[in-house]
Amino acid sequence: MSGETLTTKDAIDPIIHKGYLGELADAYLPAGMDRKDPQISPLYADLKGLPPTLIQVGSAETLLADATRFAAAAGAADVPVTLEIWPHMIHAWHLWNAHLEPGRRALANAGSFIRECL
């Protein structure tokens, strides 16, 4: 919850907003727990040894910077990482795959990624 796109994409992503994420974190974490604790945020964890990782993020979503930062951290830890930034997509665009062609393509890409890794 520290990427700049939480602010810069806030007006265009109708689903995920910093206040909402704060409420979720407050409900999940014990009071006083450091949100930068590696057990809480993978951005601060030792990522060495993770399996190949696929990150799909929309260019219009507030979590774009968090996704690109995680991809960079995984790559720096020698984790094979594939980052897909989907133009004009908001958070969880995959859910509308029945009516949204990029949602179907993203799911197909994820399926291909999983098959290649197995």
pLDDT tens digits along 8-26: 999 999 999 999 999 998 9
CATH number for the domain that contains residue 27:
3.40.50.1820
When pLDDT is averaged across residues 62-85 and rounded to a whole number, the result is: 98
Q: How confident is the model at residue 80 (pLDDT cuts 50, 70, 90)?
A: very high
pLDDT, position 30: 85
Paired residues of 55 in beta bridges: 83
State the pLDDT confidence band at 62, using cuts at 50, 70 and 90.
very high
pLDDT band at residue 2, thresholds of 50, 70 and 90? confident
Identify the domain containing residue 59 by its residue range.
5-117
pLDDT at 32: 87
Nearest to 82 by CA among 103, 100, 46, 55: 55
How many separate domains does the chain show?
Answer: 1
Q: Quick one: pLDDT band at residue 92, thresholds 50, 70, 90?
A: very high
**CA 68 to chain CA centroid, nearest Å:** 8
